[in-house]
Amino acid sequence: MGQKNVSTQKPAEHVANQVLVSLKSLPSKKERETLWNTWKLVEKEQIGESPLFLLEYTGKEKIDIPKLVIEIEKNSLVKYAEPNMIMKTFSNGS
């Protein structure tokens, strides 16, 4: 009998309490703050001049970031949202 290939790969990691959100347009800072407050988020950084933002969850309750992303994406102003993933490089030993 052949061996079954079982993946031991861990789920992708993300920075605790951080999400990246891209908006369909670029509202004013005041409008963005109102939007972010909906999910207890604060704007950490705007990526260049694009409507892409690094946000941090500031609520006191423990949050499930992937579930938060799903909630954020339901908003009509949001183009997409995703956890702030931790990128790792792999070495082949050379």
Rg of the chain (C-alpha set): 17
**pLDDT value for 10:** 58
Under the banding of pLDDT at 50, 70 and 90, the label for residue 2 is low
C-beta separation of 71 from 29 below 8 A: no
pLDDT (average), residues 5-34: 83
Quick one: which of 21, 16, 22, 15 has its CA closest to 85?
A: 15
H-helix segments, the chain: 29-37, 65-73
Query: Which residues fall within 8 angstroms of residue 18, CB to CB, at 6 or more apart?
Result: 44, 54, 55, 56, 57, 65, 83, 84
**Model pTM score:** 0.79
Give the tens place of pLDDT for each residue, 56-80.
Answer: 999 999 999 999 999 999 999 999 9
Instruction: Could you please state the CATH topology (level 3) that the domain comprising 16-85 is classified under.
Output: Alpha-Beta Plaits (3.30.70)
